[in-house]
Amino acid sequence: MLHRGRPREAIDLLECARPYEMGMFDGLMSTYVRGQAYHALGRYQEAAGEYERIVSYRRLLTFSTSMFPELYPLAHVRLARARAMSGDAAGARQSYEKFFDLWKNADTDIPILIAARREYAKLVAGSPLR
C-alpha cells in the first residue's frame, strides 16, 4: 500500500504484525515499512519510534542480516530524518553520525550515503531538511 501512495492503509495492514515482530527473523521489516508510512503522513515522532525499535534490536538483526543486511544502517538514517523533521536536531545529528560510522568503508557514490551527507550538512548549518 505504501508504494501505491496509501500510507494510512499500509499502517493498518501492518498493525497485525506488531505482536510478532520481535520474535521473527524478518519481522523488523514491517517495523521499517511502518516507519516509512508514518513519515509519509508527516507523523515524524511515530516514524522515529519505529526506527528506534529497529536500532535497539541489533541482537535480532544479527539473524536477519542475510535477508536484509541494510536494515540496521538504513534505520539509522531514517531515524535521523524523522528526528530532524520533528525538531530533534541533536538526536538527528547523533543518528546520522551512527549511520556514517556504520558505513565508513562504503563506496562513496551510494545515493543514500550522498543524500545523508547532504542532509547532515544542512542540519549542522542550521537549515531545515524540508
pTM (predicted TM-score)? 0.86
The domain that holds 98 is classified in CATH as 1.25.40.10
Letter string b/e over residues 78-96, b meaning 16 or more CB atoms within 10 A of that residue's CB:
bbbbbbbbbebeebbbebb
Give me the number of domains the chain comprises: 1
Residue 130 placed within a domain: no
Residue 87 placed within a domain: yes
Query: Mapping DSSP to helix (H, G, I), strand (E, B) and coil, where does residue 80 land?
Result: helix
pLDDT, position 65 = 47
Give the range of the structural domain holding residue 13, as residue numbers without chain letter: 2-125
Q: What is the mean pLDDT of each run of 10 residues along the chain (130 residues)?
A: 83 82 69 93 96 79 56 93 95 96 93 96 86
